[in-house]
Amino acid sequence: MTIPDTLPGDIELRVSREPVPYRAALEEMQVRNAAIAAGEARELVWLLEHPPVYTAGTSAASAELLDPRFEVVEAGRGGRYTYHGPGQRVGYILLDLKKRARDARGFVHAVEGWVIDTLRDFGIEGFRSEGRIGIWTQDIDGREAKIGAIGVRIRKWVTMHGFAVNIRPDLSHFTGIVPCGIEEFGVTSLARLGHDVDFDTWDKALIARADSFLAALERPCPPADGKPETHE
C-alpha cells in the first residue's frame, strides 16, 4: 500500500519524514485551524514525530513536572503533562465537525477507537479505562500501562491536536513528568511489547482504518471517559 496524500472527503494527509519541533507544529496547527473554520483551507490529518518535549495541557499541575530536562511548552489542548519524542507517532487531526455530528465527546471517542482498532492489527489489545484518559493495554509485567495519549482542542467546531502512540520511544523520558497526572500506572510501547514496527507500517495500518474513523464522526457517540478535550 502506497500512502496517499488525500483521505476520503478531500482531507489532506501529510506525513512528515523528519522530526518537527513542537512549537512550529503548534503554530501551524493554529493557523490551519482558523483557515479551516473560515472555509479557506482543506481539512488535515498530519502524521509526524517531535524532538523531545514536555507539553502542558490546560489541566497541568506544576507538581507533576518532576524533571524538566526537555523544553516545556504550553500546548493549549485539554489534559495534563505529556511527553513527545523520537519513536512516538503523533497524529494531529484538523476536521470541521460542522460537517459532521457536532459532537465533541463523540469525536474523542472516535479518535480513541481509531487507535485501538489499529493496535489490534498488530496483536495488541488496547482499551479505554474509566477515569483514566488515554489508550491502555496490558504491559509485559501484567499491569495496565498507557500506550497512547489523547488530547484535543475544538475551536468553532474545528478540531486540533489528536493522539500520540508509543511505537519505540525511550520510555525513560517519561519519568520527567507524571504522564497525564496518573502516578500509579506506567507507560509502554509496541517495542516493549515485542512488536518491531516502523512508522511506515504503522501509518499504513492507521490509514487503512481511516474510513471507519470518519464514518464514526457522522453520528453522535456515547461520551468518552475522562475530560481530554477543550471546546470553545
Q: Can you give the pTM of this predicted structure?
A: 0.91
- The residues assigned a catalytic role are 180
Reduced to 3 states (helix: H, G, I; strand: E, B; else coil), residue 76 is coil
Q: Is residue 65 part of a domain?
A: yes
Q: Is residue 74 part of a domain?
A: yes
Q: Is residue 224 part of a domain?
A: no
Spell out the per-residue pLDDT of the chain, length 232, in tens: 788 999 999 999 999 999 999 999 999 999 999 999 999 999 999 999 999 999 988 888 888 899 889 999 998 887 888 999 999 999 999 999 999 988 998 999 999 999 999 999 999 999 998 877 889 999 999 999 999 999 999 999 999 999 999 999 999 999 998 875 556 678 999 999 999 999 999 999 999 999 999 999 998 765 444 444 443 3
**Residue 163: partners with Cβ closer than 8 Å, 6 or more residues away:** 90, 91, 93, 111, 112, 114, 115, 135, 148, 149, 150
**Domain that residue 45 falls in:** 6-219
Domain count, the chain: 1
Residue 106 assigned ligand-binding role: no
Residue with cell 488535515: 44
Q: Is residue 86 part of a domain?
A: yes
Q: Is residue 59 part of a domain?
A: yes
Residue 42 assigned ligand-binding role: no
DSSP state of 177: B
Q: What is the CATH number of the domain that holds 24?
A: 3.30.930.10
Q: How many CB atoms lie within 10 A of CB 194?
A: 9
Residue 151 assigned ligand-binding role: yes
**Alpha-carbon separation of residue 169 from 15, 60, 129, 187, 198 (angstroms):** 18, 22, 23, 10, 12
Q: Is residue 11 part of a domain?
A: yes
Q: Is residue 125 part of a domain?
A: yes
Q: Is residue 114 part of a domain?
A: yes
C-alpha cell at 90: 503523533
